[in-house]
């Protein structure tokens, strides 16, 4: 099996258009296995991009349109490394301040976000695991990144009009 065929391709169908991404199973195997389990369970269907910060990133995969968080599996080990950079168009796992707290939420970098990269093994320097890259539809990512946002309950940077993840599926 070639390296290219080992990496799954996913199609992210959103209310604003379609995004295709290659997930790096060869570089972040546990992370990709975790995300693909959610994809295969159709977990992401109907969730939203709930956090959008222009010039930074778009985040989704955890909240419904009512800003209710969906229950997840246990967290995955953070596979951030110096090789897996948070560059424009990369997908990375969202997490709390706890290094190994990522579950289902992910974000797509709108720009090179070097400050999110793995610097060292400390909690402050561990970074966010980039696990794939957009291969088609970066114009859709940019369009989502430019929407108007506001506050919803305790959440800032929430799109004024919900941006729905209709589905995320393996590419045929």
Res 75: pLDDT: 98
Res 79: pLDDT: 98
Ramachandran area for residue 126 (φ above 0: left; ψ -120 to 50: alpha; else beta): alpha
List the one residue out of 143, 142, 147 whose CA is nearest residue 160. 147
Q: What is the pTM of this model?
A: 0.96
Res 141: pLDDT: 98
Res 43: pLDDT: 98
Rounded Cα gap, residues 111 and 56, in angstroms = 6
The per-residue pLDDT string of the chain (172 residues; one tens digit each, 9 = 90 and over) reads 444 458 999 999 999 999 999 999 999 999 999 999 999 999 999 999 999 999 999 999 999 999 999 999 999 999 999 999 999 999 999 999 999 999 999 999 999 999 999 999 999 999 999 999 999 999 999 999 999 999 999 999 999 999 999 999 999 8
- Residues in the chain, total: 172
Res 1: pLDDT: 40
Q: Which two tokens stand for residue 126?
A: 């561990």
Q: Which two tokens stand for residue 21?
A: 């991404």
Domains by residue range for the chain, with CATH: 3-170 (2.40.100.10)
């Amino acid at each position: 099996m070639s390296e290219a065929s080992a990496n799954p391709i996913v199609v992210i169908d959103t209310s604003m258009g379609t995004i295709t991404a290659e997930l790096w199973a060869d570089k972040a195997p546990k992370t990709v296995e975790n995300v693909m389990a959610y994809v295969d369970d159709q977990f992401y269907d109907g969730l939203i991009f709930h956090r959008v910060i222009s010039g930074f990133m778009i985040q989704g995969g955890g909240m419904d349109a009512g800003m209710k968080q969906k229950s997840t599996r246990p967290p995955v080990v953070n596979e951030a490394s110096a090789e897996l950079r948070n560059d424009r168009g990369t997908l990375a796992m969202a997490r709390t301040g706890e290094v190994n707290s990522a579950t289902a939420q992910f974000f797509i970098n709108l720009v090179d976000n070097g400050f999110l990269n793995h610097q060292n093994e400390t909690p402050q320097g561990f970074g966010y695991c980039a696990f794939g890259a957009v291969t088609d539809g970066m114009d859709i990512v940019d369009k989502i990144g430019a929407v108007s946002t506001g506050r919803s309950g305790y959440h800032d940077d929430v799109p004024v009009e919900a941006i729905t993840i209709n589905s995320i599926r393996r590419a045929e």
